[in-house]
Chains A and B, each alone.
Chain A
Amino acid sequence: MGADRAATVSIWSAALAALAILLFIIGAILWNGLGTALSPSFVFGKPQAMREGGGIWPMVVSSVYLSVLTLALVIPLGVGAAVYMAEFARAGRLARLVRFGADSLSAVPSVVFGVFGMVVFVIYLGLGYSLLAGALTLTLLNLPTVARASEEAIRAVPQSYREAALSMGCTRWEMVKKVVLPVAQPGITTGAVLTVGRIVGESAAVIYTVGLFVRKVPWSPFAPAAPMAANIWHMYTEGALVPDWFRVASGEAAFLLLSVLALNMAARMLAAFLRRKMGYSA
């Protein structure tokens, strides 16, 4: 009985410790940075060097822009790969090869993607430090996760739906387009929103492909930019140039954390909403 009791206590403590760690992280980051992160002059302000009071608007735009560009590439590719694997691939050498590629890519550290992107997209293809170079790098980085989440959503579509479509004379692709993808769409959408969270939070793969610091809002996909996550690293390493770098980095960290948490929550709520709208639960 003693052992049982001790085990119960320690398992409960582990769970409470995990909860405490999360609350501590959120609490500490917000404690230092929420005041800054919530002020419009910070979020929409121009960055400053050599003097105080700078904002992060170009970094916010960079993060959003990078997310949009990456999603535009990774979602079609990932969903396409998922459709192939779930609906068309026969179990065999080819399917095994794709799975091995996906698993390995998803295990590669992001800093390795960063230096790869630097060599191939920034230097070899001549894109320079740019949003496009970063988006291409992040596409490769996120592709396995998007493909996997989409494949799970597609596989969750009941088999009877497919049979119904085929029995009415649909070709396989018509069946996928008209029945499977619409039904799998909530799962795919949730995966996409979670991917935005990962793109926005990524820094190691971005620093050597997109850039660390910009003064002006980047409008062209070929322009260098500075997503928030990379800019926090810039403040940490080169902060001496900005007198209130600590305030800026704390505010940026708080804003970034809030954005990512909001995206995670939004993904759940969106999934629940879409499923309710479609009238099925999977």
Chain B
Amino acid sequence: MAPIGKEWLVRKALLVMALVMVFGLALVIFFIAKESLPAFTEAGPANLFGSTWDPGSGRYGMLVFLTGTVTTTAGGLLLGTPLALGLALFLTQMAPRRSRPLFGRVVELLAGVPSIVLGWLGFTILVPWIRKVGGGSGSGILAASIILAVMALPTIAAISRDAIEAVPDSYLQAAYSMGATRWQTIRRVLLPAARPGILAAVILGAGRAIGETMAVAMVIGPASVFPTSLTSPTHTLTTKILVEMGESTGVQRSSLFAMSLVLLLLAMAMVLLVRRVSGSRMPEGSVHA
């Protein structure tokens, strides 16, 4: 074959490979939507987004699980964000030069801990400990929030670090030369300049928390009712899907796919939101370099 022909062929083959991701996403959306269709036609949106989950009497409300997802994610961010920002500031501004690789490595390794391992730790240590100190069952929103804070920590820290590092040195030099202290410089110059990146980091951390399954499943309860306290069993969208997909059929199974569809739409909304705030492409979600 002539060299031109081969070049053209290779180029098209590479394009197809790049498009696999687009087709893949389309396939995921299509099949999840298709499987959730019976839930929308037979149970109806009012039922699906209602507050009672009781398949025995035809109630498929996901509000309990949506509440679980929102509260545990909020709790995780509340606990995890200050820690992650502190870590990012430390890594960029304060860490003695020689210790920077060590703390950078800590972020990477923490990001690499499998969620099932974190869940096992939550189940064997965190839940019994909460039960002893705070009473209740020990599992629930508090335990899940703590676990999610640990899961979101490396994501938020790594992306915020990149955002902070991207602030031009001249900004800091200007602030210091005007007599600002380190904290004044951080608060008045560095953080405002890095704000879009930090916001993107927190949104991506939220995305990670919303999607987290195994680690939450082992500390959340489980129970398909609204929690009565921070330490009473409940469910999130992901844990409900995980626990019940294997043993459900018909409309009940379909309503689990409807929950998957909600998660899918939330994920895509987050991507658009991140692009909006950071003004460009999504920052790296997991830790690489």
Contacts and interface: CB of A to CB of B under 8 A. Distances in A.
Contact of A107 (B82, B214, B285): B285
B165 interface: no
Given A14-B87, A84-B11, 9 more contacts: A14-B82, A15-B91, A22-B113, A25-B113, A107-B285, A109-B267, A112-B260, A232-B117, A260-B112
A159 interface: no
Interface string A96-118: 01111111111111111111101
Interface stretch (A4-12, A38-46, A52-60): A4-12
Interface in A204-235: 204, 207-208, 229, 232-233
Interface size of A as a range: 35 or more
15 contacts: A11-B90, A14-B89, A22-B110, A29-B117, A81-B20, A84-B14, A104-B271, A107-B285, A116-B28, A118-B245, A140-B24, A143-B21, A145-B286, A171-B3, A260-B113
Contacts of B286: 145, 198
Interface string B89-116: 1110111000000010111111011111
B281 A103 contact: yes
A157 to B, nearest CB: 15
A159 B245 CA distance: 51
- Name the residue among B32, B124, B125 with the largest chain A CB count within 10 angstroms: B124
A208 B260 CA distance: 14
Contact of A264 (B22, B108, B124): B108
Nearest to B21: A101
A208 to B, nearest CB: 6
Interface pairs A-B: 3 shortest CB-CB: A14-B86, A109-B211, A201-B114
B202 to A, nearest CB: 14
Interface in A18-59: 18-19, 21-22, 25, 28-29, 32
Given A14-B87, A80-B17, A108 B211 contact: yes
A84 B17 contact: yes
Given A12-B90, A101-B25, A203-B116, A115 B257 contact: yes
A256 interface: yes
B198 to A, nearest CB: 14
Interface in B231-250: 238, 241-242, 245-246
B211 A25 contact: no
Interface in A70-99: 76-77, 80-81, 83-85, 88-89, 97-99
Interface string A158-196: 000000000000011100000000000000000100100
